[in-house]
Amino acid sequence: MLTAPDDLIQLLTHEGKRVTHPDFSLDISDDEIRALYRDLFLVRRFDNEATALQRQGELALWAQCQGQEAAQIGAGRALSAGDFVFPSYREHGIAWTRGVDPVQILGMFRGTTNGGWDPYAHNFGLYTVVIGNQCLHAVGYAMAGLRENAGDVVLTCFGDGGSNQGDVSEAFVFAGVYNAPVVFLCQNNQYAISEPNTRQMRVPIYQRSSGFGFPGYRVDGNDVLAMFAVMRFAYEHARSGNGPVLVEAFTYRIGNHTTSDDATRYRDAAEVEYWKERDPILRVKRYLDSVKTPQSFFDEVEAAAEELAVRIRSGARQLADPTLDEMFTNVYSQPHPLVQQEHQEMTEYFAQFGGMQSPHSEGGH
Amino acid sequence: MLTAPDDLIQLLTHEGKRVTHPDFSLDISDDEIRALYRDLFLVRRFDNEATALQRQGELALWAQCQGQEAAQIGAGRALSAGDFVFPSYREHGIAWTRGVDPVQILGMFRGTTNGGWDPYAHNFGLYTVVIGNQCLHAVGYAMAGLRENAGDVVLTCFGDGGSNQGDVSEAFVFAGVYNAPVVFLCQNNQYAISEPNTRQMRVPIYQRSSGFGFPGYRVDGNDVLAMFAVMRFAYEHARSGNGPVLVEAFTYRIGNHTTSDDATRYRDAAEVEYWKERDPILRVKRYLDSVKTPQSFFDEVEAAAEELAVRIRSGARQLADPTLDEMFTNVYSQPHPLVQQEHQEMTEYFAQFGGMQSPHSEGGH
Amino acid sequence: MATLTMAKAINTGLRHAMKRDDKVVLMGEDIGKLGGVFRVTDGLQAEFGDMRVVDPPLAESGIVGTAVGMAMRGWRPVVEIQFDGFVYPAFDQIVSQVAKQHYRSAGKTTLSMVIRIPYGGGIGAIEHHSESPEAYFAHTAGLRVISPANPIDAYEMIQQAIAHPDPVIFFEPKRRYWDKAEIDDSVDVMDRPEGYSQLFDARIAREGSDLTLVAYGPMVKTCLEAAAAAANEGLNLEVLDLRSLTPLDFETVVRSVTKTGRMVVVHEAPQFAGIGAEIAARVTEKCFWTMQAPVLRVAGLYMPYPAARVEHAFLPDLDRILDAVDKAMEY
Amino acid sequence: MATLTMAKAINTGLRHAMKRDDKVVLMGEDIGKLGGVFRVTDGLQAEFGDMRVVDPPLAESGIVGTAVGMAMRGWRPVVEIQFDGFVYPAFDQIVSQVAKQHYRSAGKTTLSMVIRIPYGGGIGAIEHHSESPEAYFAHTAGLRVISPANPIDAYEMIQQAIAHPDPVIFFEPKRRYWDKAEIDDSVDVMDRPEGYSQLFDARIAREGSDLTLVAYGPMVKTCLEAAAAAANEGLNLEVLDLRSLTPLDFETVVRSVTKTGRMVVVHEAPQFAGIGAEIAARVTEKCFWTMQAPVLRVAGLYMPYPAARVEHAFLPDLDRILDAVDKAMEY
Ligand SMILES: Cc1ncc(C[n+]2csc(CCOP(=O)(O)OP(=O)(O)O)c2C)c(N)n1
Ligand SMILES: Cc1ncc(C[n+]2csc(CCOP(=O)(O)OP(=O)(O)O)c2C)c(N)n1
Ligand SMILES: [Mg+2]
Ligand SMILES: [Mg+2]
């Protein structure tokens, strides 16, 4: 059974005790920790709400981030406003820290869009489904930043399995050669769908970067304080011209890979239980209790979560299907005769039936 | 200007002095060293002859290996008969050690074939032009070997530039995860056509493998003794079930990238001179002189080289163009109606002109 | 006899192929314990072990590239690409190596490998999970590209494809994985005298005289439904199931069109430069004088595969096919 | 005015584009000091520095992928792929990202980038250096695919392509790099009022009335030679230079065929599922009653690009084109 190794950078144990680390320290107030707790708690609620919406048939699919909230909130909250993020498809927590409306994130899972938000309004790129593609975009975006002396850094996320795609290694090469201000965050949630780390790598992934010429760190990804501290260091390292950094957040995917998955086919309940005990939110709660946080705080957070849930439920149901015209828009930014012709043909075609019908899809998986 | 670093594994200095190395020793007789000298000398002649044939218009192109003979002869001679090689396109020296007829190698450069030899007759795969592709074939071939308990190892070659292709990193991943008996030989000849190492990597390439979980060594690639010793070690390491090894042969491409290239556009004559002084053959000659090798030996080698040259010249000119029928053969191993139809159409078409005409090609580059 | 879904039919076909030949190795993301995201390989790793059923690192070029190396050693890798949209990282290996090794080596190297790709839309999936990239591969000489339309063909064709010495791209119509049929799942298809000799033949799925509907994979069923509907309007449509795109059985297509004089080709891939164009061009050339109407095409639209909630407007369906049939009949 | 080869014309066009817009960055293997293997970028790194003319690590997916990232930040990368056969490692980035980002982002992200690809055969090169992969890209919605046939178009089209906000795959007919023409190389083409508005229009390269030859890139010159030869036999051929494959100017093609009633399409890529099939299918549909003969195609053969010493048998040439013309005239 997979347990947590002891070489992880940690500042908050799963019992909720703050500990020190020789290389990384964090000067943070309890109020600031409460703010992080709030993030963690609300993102968890968002995630659970989305999972429920999928069960109710409001979403076609959902990729849960349960268990990875600390890695994402730590990474997201340590960013500066001008920094840019190139996520994978499970970074709901980071999206939250960038101010992306959770409802917008549901669009692609409901099937109303392939994207859902304006990357530039939040400095948060669209989710990338083709594993690894986004890492190269991050490096290119940073290379452009160097030409603008922008002074910002770029964060990109990938998974333990994704680390093996050629694109990710090539991103390491380019980031290294150009000393690009990119921080690579690998959320090692122990599984690539059903495949454990043992099928994906011979040595821990944080070691991968050294042969490309930049450092790698392995952090307790369920420890929001350690994640915040290490990511803040990594961003500063890159921002000050020292080049890229790889951070492995050692965490665990509590839920299924997606709502289409059945994790019981490939892992034991005992393992999941072990990791639930190391839950990233639970340990912060334990700490906050140990410092006598008033119940009123937790009540307020619970109330905010309930409010968020309501807003997500109604928002999700209101996500509208694209119209036929919208479907034909933005294939190109300038007119394209073939697209225009097919647009006209389909418009005339559907006119016979009084416009495009409502969707019906066979099967489903 | 690019000079040789001093952290290279070396057993024979460029002055021709044998030296010892803490980790690698080689118990080899002067007669055996003379045999290696013979290989080096004959391959050099082959290479020069091919270059001359290209100038005379007998070949469309030639990729010289001058300067890299020691890396290739060392790697090739340390192999066992049952081992298999997946080369790039410049491994003429390794081909030589596998008994591939030099004339066969000229075919693809003359334009009479896309291949030229039977990979299985020599356990030497066809040259691979698409950078990096062959490294994955090598790993797959080794994975099959594991299933056969074959006990052989697989050697695959790539260049300093090629090290960056996603396929090469993925080959590292698969070889590592499956503990495949593969030895990766990177001939770092300092250039990817015109691009020096500085444009290709942030740290020396031999370090690349550690993050994939297997060792890397950096050898004086112009020292045939060091190459032989380290490669022999690497093969044994892999053969005994310890997994893959990466060997960086630090060498120098004395000639142009190919006969289509003009290296004077991107590097100094002084640099080339520096490396000519470190020529892999010259240093063995110096050693053999120091141990009083009779002139008769060198005369015999020279005579053998002259004989080889004559055979290559006449052999090259006799390489026949494919017939129309040959051109349509082996697109598939079983009949394919479309290929058969086009074959028939073209046969009837050319019949009007009394058969397929002799080639004529516009331009040329 | 047993009632099997297409997914189960392929699963059973794979089992036969693995029993028949120890050199058959399955490789693909999550095909082991999980049995693949569509469960097509369900139970096979448990039965044959993880040296025969491999779930490799997440890297398609790596999977196909190592499969090439195994095939070079005489093994018969059967690769599963998880979804159509994820075959592109392996495109270089497929186009430059899988398709060309046999020719390059003058026949010395034979790559007896199969690349299985669940493809097509209609399942309400997110982006990259509903594409139809078959034209890219059919345009690439050296590959054989086939696609079954029903469970029985899926059961037989997968066994024949694995036994075939050439590389085969095996497109599985994922929206039809749950279609059922009665199959004698006890037979190893390669025990039959015909072996794989009919693997690339088109099939007349429905006899007709007024117009020929040509399709493959997921659209064959849709065409049959269209033909049934047309029958009520007194139209007698012939439906051809191509089964193979390269080689493509033009003999059967031409025979049918010579009879009907009219043809509509249907596929999910975008119409522009799709496989339907080749069929239309070639048939028109061969049947110039017999065509009573131009070959019409009903296909996907020229845009990235859209959001699932509008994919029904992107995909050919019964109505759009009948609309084209009416147009063709008006000539 | 100056006499420029096509290679030099593109070089000059690139220089204008770089002067016009500081955000134009060239990226490609060996395009710096070496000036590219065809010298198309000769002198540009010396003039603009290595932040504007980048010779990156040897990894095509990396080059295209980082170019996408730069374009996302408003830069205008112009990527050079060294040879046609080396674009496949970048196929995934091109098909899944370059082509789809604009649509996925509902227009928020615009990728104003150009991917230059020297393509086609006839130069006696080794394998992978003579391919014509344009159909793969034309079948991919979201990309614009163009190819100049002569130095003047090359000079103008490269400037227009770089200025265009959509991603453009720019196929350069490498065997024509050494063709010369008189060009006013002082003009920045984008200073003209028409800008890039005519970039995707086909061009009538030769007026004729008996039959329409349709080609693009390297085959336009061959078609003009064929038309000249046919003229001696009293045949008056019209030659169309498509210039753009997507969008494809069917208006001009249909207008020509309506006049001539006969058409032969020519390209180097294998005929099967090539772009010629789409042209034949669509033109036949639009001109069904006016066609006096089926659209015939003269194209590459269905095999991996063969050894250079027989490429002349693989490639369409004057004789094969005239052979097809005669067949079409016989109808
Ligand atoms: C190129 C590509 N291949 C396959 C897939 C299908 N797929 C989606 S998620 C996934 C596993 C990813 O695992 P990991 O990288 O660890 O990320 P995680 O989902 O665990 O966050 C796979 C194989 C894909 N999306 N892209
Ligand atoms: C995928 C791919 N991209 C580009 C090329 C063109 N090309 C041929 S050799 C070469 C440089 C290779 O350099 P390196 O890997 O160092 O090997 P070397 O030629 O120095 O032995 C390039 C870019 C290619 N053959 N394949
Ligand atoms: Mg994971
Ligand atoms: Mg090199």
Q: Report the distance separating Cα D217 and Cα D265, nearest Å.
A: 13
Residues of D in contact with B113 (CB under 8 A): 307
Read off the pLDDT band of A361 (50, 70, 90): very low
pLDDT reported for residue A358 = 72
User: Using the beta-carbon criterion (under 8 Å), do D37 and B356 form an inter-chain contact?
Assistant: no
pLDDT at C119 over 70: yes
Q: Report the distance separating Cα D26 and Cα D44, nearest Å.
A: 9
Closest CB to B195 among D30, D177, D314: D30
pLDDT at B342 over 70: yes
Which is it for strands D237-241 and D180-183: parallel, antiparallel or unpaired?
unpaired
Q: Which pLDDT tens digit goes with each residue over B227-282? A: 999 999 999 999 999 999 999 999 999 999 999 999 999 999 999 999 999 999 99
User: Ligand 1 within 6 A of A61 CB?
Assistant: no
| A244 and chain B in contact, CB less than 8 A | no
pLDDT reported for residue A360 = 56
Ligand 2 centroid distance, CA of B192 (Å): 6
pLDDT reported for residue B358 = 73
Pick from B162, B138, B154: which is nearest to B82 by CA?
Answer: B154
Backbone angles phi, psi at B191, to 5 degrees: -135, 145
| D143 and chain C in contact, CB less than 8 A | no
pLDDT reported for residue B360 = 56
Q: Which ligand is nearest to the CA of A88?
A: 1
Ligand 2: which residue has its CA nearest to atom 19?
Answer: B192
Residues in CB range of A32: below 8 A, 6 or more apart? none
Q: Which pLDDT tens digit goes with each residue over B154-188? A: 999 999 999 999 999 999 999 999 999 999 999 99
Q: CA end-to-end span of chain A, whole Å?
A: 29
Average pLDDT over residues C259-284: 98
Q: Which pLDDT tens digit goes with each residue over A28-52? A: 999 999 999 999 999 999 999 999 9
Q: Report the distance separating Cα C328 and Cα D121, nearest Å.
A: 40
Substitution candidate for ligand 1 out of A114, A131, A165, A186 with most atoms within 8 A of CB? A131
As given in the structure block, the two tokens for residue A63 are: 């990729």
User: Using the beta-carbon criterion (under 8 Å), do D93 and A167 form an inter-chain contact?
Assistant: yes
pLDDT reported for residue B362 = 42
User: Using the beta-carbon criterion (under 8 Å), do C138 and D272 form an inter-chain contact?
Assistant: yes
Average pLDDT over residues A171-199: 97
Backbone angles phi, psi at A84, to 5 degrees: -125, 145
Relative to the CA of B257, which ligand 2 atom is closest? 19
| B243 and chain A in contact, CB less than 8 A | yes
Q: What is the mean pLDDT of chain C?
A: 98
Give the whole-number percent of chain D exceeding pLDDT 70: 100
pLDDT reported for residue A359 = 73
User: What is the 3 state secondary structure string of chain C?
Assistant: CEEEEHHHHHHHHHHHHHHHCCCEEEEECCCCCCCCCCCCCCCHHHHHCCCCEECCCCCHHHHHHHHHHHHHCCCEEEEECCCHHHCHHHHHHHHHHHCCHHHHCCCCCCCCCEEEEEECCCCCCCCCCCCCCHHHHHCCCCCEEECCCCHHHHHHHHHHHHHCCCCEEEEEEHHHCCCEEEECCCCCHHHCCCCCCCCCCCEEEECCCCEEEEECCHHHHHHHHHHHHHHHCCCCEEEEECCEEECCCHHHHHHHHHHHCCEEEEEEEECCCCHHHHHHHHHHHHCCCCCCCCCEEEEECCCCCCCHHHHHHHCCCHHHHHHHHHHHHHC
Q: Report the distance separating Cα B254 and Cα D128, nearest Å.
A: 26
Q: Which pLDDT tens digit goes with each residue over D237-296? A: 999 999 999 999 999 999 999 999 999 999 999 999 999 999 999 999 999 999 999 999
Give the whole-number percent of chain C exceeding pLDDT 90: 100
Relative to the CA of A130, which ligand 1 atom is closest? 26
Give Cα B271 to chain centroid, integer Å.
23
As given in the structure block, the two tokens for residue B162 are: 């090629």
Q: Is the peptide bond preceding residue D247 cis, with omega within 30 degrees of 0? A: yes
| Structural contact between residues A218 and A182, judged by C-beta atoms closer than 8 angstroms | no
Pick from A107, A29, A118, A44: which is nearest to A322 by CA?
Answer: A107
pLDDT at B365 over 50: no
Q: What is the mean pLDDT of chain D?
A: 98
User: What b/e string do you get for C233-268 counting C-beta neighbours within 10 Å, with b at 16 or more?
Assistant: eebebbbbbbbbbbbbbbebbbebbeebbbbbbbbb
Relative to the CA of A162, which ligand 1 atom is closest? 15
Which sign does the torsion angle of CA A219, A221, A227, A233 carry?
positive
Q: Report the distance separating Cα C144 and Cα C125, nearest Å.
A: 28
As given in the structure block, the two tokens for residue B212 are: 């994939």
Pick from B170, B185, B161, B265: which is nearest to B233 by CA?
Answer: B185
User: Ligand 1 within 6 A of A160 CB?
Assistant: yes
Name the 3-class secondary structure at B99.
coil
pLDDT at B361 over 70: no
pLDDT at A3 over 60: yes
Read off the pLDDT band of A357 (50, 70, 90): confident
Read off the pLDDT band of B1 (50, 70, 90): confident
Give Cα C19 to chain centroid, integer Å.
24
Q: Which pLDDT tens digit goes with each residue over D33-84? A: 999 999 999 999 999 999 999 999 999 999 999 999 999 999 999 999 999 9
Q: Which pLDDT tens digit goes with each residue over C286-295? A: 999 999 999 9
Pick from A112, A70, A60, A68: which is nearest to A88 by CA?
Answer: A68
Q: CA end-to-end span of chain C, whole Å?
A: 46
Pick from A140, A146, A197: which is nearest to A167 by CA?
Answer: A140
Average pLDDT over residues A223-248: 98
Average pLDDT over residues B190-216: 97
Q: Report the distance separating Cα A282 and Cα A301, nearest Å.
A: 14
Pick from D121, D124, D113: which is nearest to D90 by CA?
Answer: D113
pLDDT reported for residue B364 = 37
Q: Which pLDDT tens digit goes with each residue over B287-331? A: 999 999 999 999 999 999 999 999 999 999 999 999 999 999 999
Q: What is the mean pLDDT of chain A?
A: 96
Chains that touch D (3 or more CB pairs under 8 A): A, B, C
Q: Which pLDDT tens digit goes with each residue over D97-142? A: 999 999 999 999 999 999 999 999 999 999 999 999 999 999 999 9
User: Using the beta-carbon criterion (under 8 Å), do D74 and A144 form an inter-chain contact?
Assistant: yes
Q: Which pLDDT tens digit goes with each residue over B72-128? A: 999 999 999 999 999 999 999 999 999 999 999 999 999 999 999 999 999 999 999
User: Ligand 1 within 6 A of A195 CB?
Assistant: no
